[in-house]
Structure 1
C-alpha cells in the first residue's frame, strides 16, 4: 500500500475544529505572526467560512487529521472562492497531502460552479507556491489583501 492510499479527504465536521486551528496556527507562527483575520477564521471556522457558503476539507491519515484546506466564499469579488488555510502537519509532509487537498478543493469549487479561484501567499513559502503553480495557478497583481504577510497573489481559471 502506498502512502497516499491511506489518506482520506473528508468534509469538515466540528470535531476537526482544533486540528484546523492548530495546523494553521503552527505554520503561521513559524513563519509570520498571527493576524486578526487568522483568529477570526481559525477560531470560528463554521461561522467564518462554512455558514458563509465556504467549505473546509480535512485530510485524514488512518483517521487522524493531518492536513486541512479551506474554500472561502468571496462575495462581490471577481473571484468565486479563495483557496485558504492550507496546512499539513510536519510529520505528514512529503506524502503529497497538500496536492491532494488542493485537487479536492479545486474539484469542490468546480462542483459549486466557480469560474475562478484566488490564493494569497508569501514567496518565502516555496513548497506551497510550487504546489499552487503545479495545480495551474498563475501570479496576479493589484488585488487587495486583508493580511500584512501577503506578497503574492494567484488565480486559477476553472
Structure 2
C-alpha cells in the first residue's frame, strides 16, 4: 500500500519517552476492545525490564521529520530461542498506511537477527485486519497445545506461528 508521505522509520525502544508511547498506544486499543489485565499493565509499565532485559525488543514506527511514534510491536523472548510477537499497535490516525505490515516485517527481521528458532503470537478474532496481516507475513494457525507457554492470555482465541 503506498504511503501518502515517506514511510515511517522503525527503530528499537531507546528512552522513557519511547516506553510511554508504547504504553499509551497499547492501552488505547486493549481498553477499547478488551479489558486491560495485570500482565498487560506489568509489561506495558516496564518494557525495559520485562521485554528488553530478558533478550527481547520493542520496535517503534516513527514519522519522518516529527519522529512521533505512530506504531509499535514487542518481541518477547522465551527459552530455546522462542519469541512472541506481541503488543502490536498503530495509532488510529495512522492506520491504513501500511505501518502494521512494516512493523511485522521489521519484527520478523529482528527475531532472525536475535537467532530465533520460533516466532509465535496470540490474537483475537475481533482483530480481522491484524489476522490478515499476520497471514500475509507467513503466520499459520496453531492449537493452544503448541504454545511454548502454559498460562497464556484468555482473550487470545487465535494462535499463530511463523512457518
Q: The TM-score by the shorter chain falls in which range?
A: over 0.9
Task: Name which of 65, 71, 75 aligns with 2:75.
Answer: 71
Runs of 4+ in structure 1 off by over 4 angstroms are: none
Q: State the match for 1:18 in structure 2.
A: 20
Q: State the match for 1:131 in structure 2.
A: 133
Q: State the match for 1:153 in structure 2.
A: 159
Once the two structures are superposed, the pairs formed by residues 4-153 of structure 1 within 5 Å of their partners are: 5-14=6-15, 15-62=17-64, 63-75=67-79, 80-141=82-143, 142=145, 143=147, 144-153=150-159
Task: Provide, for residues 91-114 of structure 1, a one-character-per-residue CA deviation record: whole Å limited to 9, x for no partner.
Answer: 000010000000000000111121
Tell me, what secondary structure is at the counterpart of 2:25?
A: helix
Task: Provide, for residues 129-151 of structure 1, a one-character-per-residue CA deviation record: whole Å limited to 9, x for no partner.
Answer: 01100000000002344212111
How many residue pairs end up in the alignment?
155
Query: What RMSD, in angstroms, separates the aligned Cα atoms of the two structures?
Result: 1.5
TM-score by length of 2: 0.90
* Residues 1:156 and 1:4: Cα distance change in structure 2 (over 3 Å): farther
* Residues 1:4 and 1:146: Cα distance change in structure 2 (over 3 Å): farther
CA contact (8 A) 2:3 2:97 kept: no
Structure 1 CA distance, aligned partners of 2:84 and 2:50?
13
Q: Which runs of 5+ in 1 are unaligned?
A: none
* Residues 1:26 and 1:111: Cα distance change in structure 2 (over 3 Å): same
